[in-house]
Homo-oligomer: A and B are copies of this chain.
Amino acid sequence: MTLADVADAVGVSPSTVSRVLTSSRPVAPEIATRVREAATRLGYSGNGIARALRRRRTDTVGMVVPSILNPFFTSLVDGLERTLHDEGKQLLLCDSRQDPDVEAEHLRALVERHVDGVVVSPCDDVASIPAVARTAAAVPLVQLDRRVEVDGTDWVGLDDHRALGMLLEHLRDRGARVVAFVTSEMTNSSTVDRARGFRENAALLGLQVAPDGIVLGEFSVASGEAAVRTLFARPQRPDAIVCADDLIAIGALRACHDLGLRVPEEVQVTGIDDIEFATYVSPTLTTLAQPTARMAAEALRLLGLRAAISDGSAHAIEATRLAFSPRLVERESTRSLP
């Protein structure tokens, strides 16, 4: 069942059928009705592949995330999918599993599939560079959340410096003196930027960083739990633990519970992301909410802009970096103001 079949059935040319079905040009109302009727009757459904080949666009956007199992990325995926659906486009979802090689494979496949654009959260600070650069050279690309240094690519994410400032200020106001930071290995931009934000803002606010007070692991509950056990095995204990994401923070809360440390009386704990479960742990978690839906929408807007630039319908602009400010969500894991 092809366009031509429908055309034959109605007794018009394929072009006319195409025009009716895509409303790309005026067609006599009477013919249009007959065409539509025939298309429905014959169960004609179109061939997106042929259309894509001819129009040179696929109405598909590719996305590569480090892990679909991390609820933060899930909410990014959700935001992207909604916006795309509203625009009549679709999402080709890829999971790099934190592996730069898998990531590179996915990116190559997306280019080969001629997606209209790629949204990527590069899994590794260094190892992701070549594949991201190669991809950006072939197709509009925007980095979301994590970022890698590649010239001319846009990025949308969190203002990590400000984020850490907000958390530390919040903690200082609530009596914190000695702070620690639990994060993942320094192999991605989020971690690096947040660690830097932690150090600088702690200095700025006159907060003392516990000795060996920056503990590395990964973005997971288990890792956060282990890190906090390590932290409290040492003589000088922090009175506040800043965690690089909510998963780590939830692990930290568990460790505190098991160690018999009262939160927030003895130790305050904070996270980042505001995943749904931050509300469901006990004590509930003070954290920073990221505007994931807006971030996803902005990423797609930039992608559209890049596409317009490469087809000549817009002027070139330099790389955009959109750093969103988070919103502090105060809950029970930090104290009330004195």
Contacts and interface: CB of A to CB of B under 8 A. Distances in A.
Given A93-B93, A94-B81, A114 B71 contact: no
A92 B77 CA distance: 12
18 contacts: A45-B108, A45-B111, A48-B113, A49-B49, A60-B92, A68-B74, A68-B77, A68-B78, A77-B93, A78-B95, A81-B95, A85-B94, A90-B94, A90-B109, A91-B92, A92-B93, A221-B276, A221-B280
A111 B281 CA distance: 42
Interface stretch (A31-39, A50-58, A192-200, A296-304): A50-58
Interface in A84-122: 85, 90-95, 102, 105-106, 108-109, 111-114
Given A71-B71, A277-B280, A114 B48 contact: yes
Copies of this chain held together in the complex: 2
Given A90-B92, A92-B93, A221-B276, 11 more contacts: A45-B111, A48-B114, A49-B49, A49-B113, A68-B74, A69-B75, A69-B78, A77-B93, A78-B95, A90-B109, A277-B280
Contacts of A78: 68-69, 95
A206 interface: no
Contacts of A254: 280
Given A85-B102, A91-B92, A280-B250, A112 B77 contact: no
Interface of A: 45-50, 52-53, 58, 60, 68-69, 71, 74-75, 77-78, 81-82, 85, 90-95, 102, 105-106, 108-109, 111-114, 138, 221, 250, 254, 257, 276-277, 279-282
A102 B90 CA distance: 13
